[in-house]
Amino acid sequence: MNATYRKQFLESRDHPAAFWMEQSKAINWLKEPKIGLETKANGASRWFPDGELNTSALCLDTHIDSGRGLESAIIYESPVTDTVRSYTYIEVLREVNSIAKGMIDMGLQKGDAAIIYMPMIPEAVFAMLACARLGVIHSVVFGGFAPKELAVRLEDAKPKIIFTADAGIEIQKTIHYKPMVDAGIDLSAHKPEKVVVFDRGLSDQCEMRNLDVKWDQFCKDGFYIAPTPVASNDPLYILYTSGTTGNPKGIVRENGGHAVALKYSMEHIYGVKPGEVYWAASDIGWVVGHSYIVYGPMIQGATTVLFEGKPIKTPDASTFWRIISEHKVVTMFTAPTAIRAIRKEDPNGDMIKQYDLSHFRTQFLAGERCDADTLEWTAEKLGVPVIDHWWQTESGWPMLGQCVGYGSDPVKPGSANFPIPGYNVQIIDEQGQPAAPGEEGLVCVKLPLPPGALADLWQDTERFERSYLSPVPGYYFSGDGGYRDEEGYVFITGRVDDVINVAGHRLSTAEMEEVIAANENVAECACFGIHDELKGQVPMAMVVLNHNSCGIDELVPELKAAIRADIGAIAGIKHIIEVPRLPKTRSGKILRKTLRAIVDGNEYQIPSTIDDPAILEEIEQKVKTQINTKTKTI
């Protein structure tokens, strides 16, 4: 194991406050912290509690003040609109100031909330940075979520303002954002004061209503807006993520720890220097987009690529390689699903050979489990280290991986590598003790959590404690299972709860069950993720119908449509089959893991607690006749 990495990891583990105080010097504070770490009574960390800063100033002013204002901050690459445009730090600051001035004029202040529901366009990033400039807490909602999901977030975050656009483009399909915002507001008990609409001229459904104002009328160009000092522990943003119930969790990210952690990660995990081009091909609606499209590269003074496209079909499987080549990207980050999609179209990697990638140094993968085959194919075709790294919305930055800034180690396909300095990752067995090498257990992080990781849920400390701190006392419980081998490589085997991962998108099966169970024809249902060769997992449902219900053939399209309408297109359910009963334990818990094993064709043990073993055989028959041949095709 690389000695520099090992030394840093041990320092961070044994002297966390001193380690992170040292790292905190790498950013420009408005008031430098004298205290590194305070621990709350529940075990959560408060990093740099006496420090003050402004995250937008770190992203923009710091670089402009050091004479780099004319360098490129953002490259907007939009194959779906045939646009490539670069923005310098000075240009970004001008846009951010003009939005911030509009926000000041409507009376917004530090601590107010804003929702951003926008496609992958520069204005979405400008809006995030404008919020950060004023200490307004933003909550970005992924465009693939339906109005009802937006309404849930509106009611929880209570924003005074929503930033949106007329439409986005998904390959060739127009996604009309504005009517979805209108529907979300109509469904929500909380109403914002204003909706600011960026009209790209893409939609014929962009009707302006009484709360709405056009982007250009709202923004006031030509003003310098001084960055508002915020406390290190003031929230920068709330990002909602799927939990094990129907209600998403509002992960709170605090300004100070976040900035220090992202600066550290850009330098040491990704090994990217100021002025270099870094690209995370994700969406700003996910944590990867927050940390590594927007804040990480911008705090580091690297150039970030904002990509409005897909790995395939925009226009083809060569898009990633063209962008890496044309913009001299040194490090890229994507999900294994994206690589699998590219590989399907270009199995021999012939399109890669058309481009000069000689400057490209490292490919990072995350968001879902990466199968060894995909990792090996990528490494062979790209000829650079391919590093699988593991993290969550909760952590905000990687918990397992490799620090290429310290020099990399060999990778083991299938492993997400080693604990990152700051994250003392441990595998915990059923007795709550560290597991032996090779033994599978719960993947946990020994407290304290490092800077940048969540310290609370938005206005729900009780749920924060119940979800993350109570399951294994003294540890943060990630919800994932895994094991560590003799050499210290950690392998993540998947979620141990009802959260699934579809194409790198985290979704809650409990939420899907709520939608299906709401149908009057359904007596009971179970949703779970099944294996899919492209997307890793896809959701499916088994339903028990009421006696007087309509037939299953009639019901399936209705249920699929309800999932899309209530959660969104990304939750598209693959199969719905009718079963006579659901297998349960004697205490009434549905055996979803067993159902998943049946559909995936894996061996399974009949749980000793099952109340009616005969039902499993009936279900196996149903699965065989109804879906087995179709499961693995997309």
Which residues make up the interface to ligand AMP (CB under 6 A)? 241, 287, 366-370, 388-393, 416, 478-480, 492, 495, 501, 506
Q: Which is nearer to ligand AMP, 108 or 411 (CB)?
A: 411
**Which of 149/283 has CB closer to ligand COA?**
283
**Out of ligand COA, ligand AMP, none, which partner does residue 480 contact, by CB within 5 to 8 A per kind?**
ligand AMP
Per DSSP, the residues of 457-486 read BTT-HHHHIIIIISSSTTEEEEEEEEEE-T
Residue nearest to ligand COA as judged by C-beta position: 504
SS (H, E, C) 105-149: HCCCCCCCEEEEECCCCHHHHHHHHHHHHHCCEEEECCCCCCHHH
Q: Total number of residues binding ligand COA (CB under 6 A)?
A: 25
Selected from 73, 114, 165, 335, the binder of ligand COA by CB under 6 A is 335
- To ligand AMP, the closest distance from the beta carbon of 287 in angstroms equals 5
CA distance 191 to 178: 15
| Shortest Å distance, C-beta 115 to ligand AMP | 19
CB-based contact 521:550 (threshold 8 Å): yes
- For ligand AMP, the closer CB: 55 or 501: 501
* 537 three-state secondary structure: strand
Instruction: For ligand AMP, give the closer residue by CB, 194 or 506.
Output: 506
Query: Between β-strands 194-198 and 212-214, what pairing exists: parallel, antiparallel or unpaired?
Result: parallel
Q: What is the dihedral of CA 91, 95, 98, 100, to 10 degrees?
A: -120
Q: Which is nearer to ligand AMP, 158 or 506 (CB)?
A: 506
H or E element that contains 380: helix 372-382
- 14's CB contacts (< 8 A; 6+ apart) are none
If one asks whether residue 306 binds ligand COA (CB under 6 A), the answer comes out as: no
Distance in Å, CB of 27 to ligand COA, minimum: 25
Q: Which stretch binds ligand COA (CB under 6 A): 166-174, 181-189, 350-358, 541-549?
A: 166-174
CA dihedral sign of residues 207, 211, 216, 217 = positive
Among residues 438, 318, 327, 431, the alpha carbon closest in space to that of 86 is found at 327
In whole angstroms, give the CA distance from residue 69 to residue 62.
Answer: 9
In angstroms, what CA-CA distances link 363 with 83, 322, 376?
25, 15, 12
CA distance 39 to 50: 14
The one of ligand AMP, ligand COA, none whose footprint includes residue 312, by CB under 5 to 8 A per kind, is: ligand COA
Q: Which stretch binds ligand COA (CB under 6 A): 262-270, 444-452, 565-573, 623-631?
A: 565-573
Nearer to ligand AMP among residue 98 and residue 392 (C-beta): 392
Choose which of 248, 311, 421, 482 interacts with ligand COA (CB under 6 A).
Answer: 311
Instruction: Please tell me the distance from the alpha carbon of residue 470 to that of residue 463, in angstroms, as a whole number.
Output: 10
Task: Give the nearest distance from C-beta 94 to ligand AMP in angstroms.
Answer: 33
The answer to whether residues 596 and 494 touch, using CB atoms and an 8 Å cutoff, is: no
Residue among 369 and 560 whose Cβ is closer to ligand AMP? 369
Nearer to ligand AMP, 241 or 325 (CB): 241
Stretch that binds ligand COA, among 46-54, 79-87, 282-290, 374-382 (CB under 6 A): 282-290
CB atoms within 10 A of CB 257: 28
Smaller CB separation from ligand AMP, 360 or 477? 477
In angstroms, give the least distance from the CB of 388 to ligand AMP. 5
- Among positions 134, 252, 338, 420, the unique one binding ligand COA when judged by CB under 6 A: 338
CA nearest to 512, candidates 250, 245, 285? 245
Chain positions contacting ligand COA, by CB under 6 A = 143-144, 168, 170, 173, 175, 281-283, 286, 288, 310-312, 334-335, 337-338, 341, 367, 503-504, 569-570, 572
